[in-house]
């Protein structure tokens, strides 16, 4: 799992880095748009408070050279477990029965123990910079496979894997929203901090949220919080 993830993150980086270096990157004009009405529901993980502080320290280094890009505040930092309904224009929470989604997800998490995720290194795409997340075991994959199976056989609205089959445990922390002051300088800093190791945190809960595309706290509504309880060992 770790080897495959490392390869995937590395492929992303090798594709994005040279493009950013020559100024061939994408900006997102919708980040601060009041007209962006894309909404959906997501099952996600929040990093620990200690981890959020460490992430903020890294972001500050980038902010010094590119202050006008979009930096995720600590309140918005997350890892997507699964986009249950990917954000789209016109989605209305009143059109679904939230309790049915909660029941299905709870069943998938019933015997799941807390597990650890480590943030080791940075990667990128043409539009953002991400932390490389590595689950220490296959718990996250098990949860995702269960969710895919149950939603596939249900009649509830969902869009699991419609855009792509999520496999990573990355966390997007910077989005490019304006032309850069010095794209080469940012690329050099990204390369310098490529292998920054932040350590690990324990996932003890997950949140089902009603959210916008960027998981902005002012637009996110927590629908349910699922606690992962350590299961007693069989004698």
Query: Domain map of the chain by residue range?
Result: 2-29+37-227
Report the share of the chain in percent with pLDDT over 90.
90
Query: What was the pLDDT predicted at 38?
Result: 96
Query: Model pTM?
Result: 0.94
The predicted-structure confidence for 95-139, as pLDDT tens digits, reads as follows 999 999 999 999 999 999 999 999 999 999 999 999 999 999 999
DSSP 8-state assignment for residue 126: S
Confidence of residue 178 (pLDDT cuts 50, 70, 90): very high
Query: What was the pLDDT predicted at 25?
Result: 98
Nearest residue to 42 via CA among 109, 114, 98, 90: 98
pLDDT greater at residue 167 or residue 223: 223
Does residue 44 surpass a pLDDT of 60?
yes
Mean pLDDT of 50-78: 98
The CATH code that applies to domain 2-29+37-227 is 3.90.1140.10
* Mean pLDDT of the chain, nearest integer: 94
Query: What was the pLDDT predicted at 231?
Result: 62
Report the share of the chain in percent with pLDDT over 70.
95
Sign of CA dihedral 220, 154, 86, 145: positive
| Alpha-carbon separation of residue 230 from 23, 61, 73, 103, 169 (angstroms) | 48, 38, 30, 20, 21
The predicted-structure confidence for 180-192, as pLDDT tens digits, reads as follows 999 999 999 999 9
Residue 82 burial by Cβ neighbours in a 10 Å radius (0-12, 13-18, 19+): buried
Query: What was the pLDDT predicted at 167?
Result: 86
């Amino acid at each position: 799992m770790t080897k495959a993830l490392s390869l995937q993150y590395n492929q992303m980086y090798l594709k994005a880095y040279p493009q950013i270096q020559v100024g061939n990157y994408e900006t997102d004009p919708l980040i601060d748009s009041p007209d962006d009405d894309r909404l959906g529901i997501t099952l996600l993980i929040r990093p620990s408070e200690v981890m959020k502080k460490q992430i903020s320290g890294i972001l500050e280094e980038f902010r010094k050279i590119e202050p006008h890009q979009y930096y995720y505040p600590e309140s918005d930092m997350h890892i997507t477990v699964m986009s249950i309904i990917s954000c789209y224009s016109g989605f209305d929470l009143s059109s679904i029965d939230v309790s049915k989604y909660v029941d299905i997800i709870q069943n998938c998490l019933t015997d799941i123990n807390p597990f650890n995720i480590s943030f080791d290194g940075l990667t990128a795409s043409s539009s953002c910079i991400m932390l490389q997340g590595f689950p220490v075991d296959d718990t996250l994959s098990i949860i995702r496979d269960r969710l895919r199976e149950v939603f596939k056989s249900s009649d509830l609205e969902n869009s699991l894997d419609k855009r792509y089959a999520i496999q990573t445990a990355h966390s997007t922390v910077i989005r490019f929203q304006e032309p850069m002051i010095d794209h080469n300088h940012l690329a050099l800093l990204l390369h310098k901090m490529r292998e920054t190791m932040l350590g690990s945190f324990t996932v003890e809960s997950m949140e089902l949220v009603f959210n916008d595309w960027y998981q902005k706290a002012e637009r996110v509504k927590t629908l349910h919080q699922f606690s992962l309880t350590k299961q007693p060992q069989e004698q």
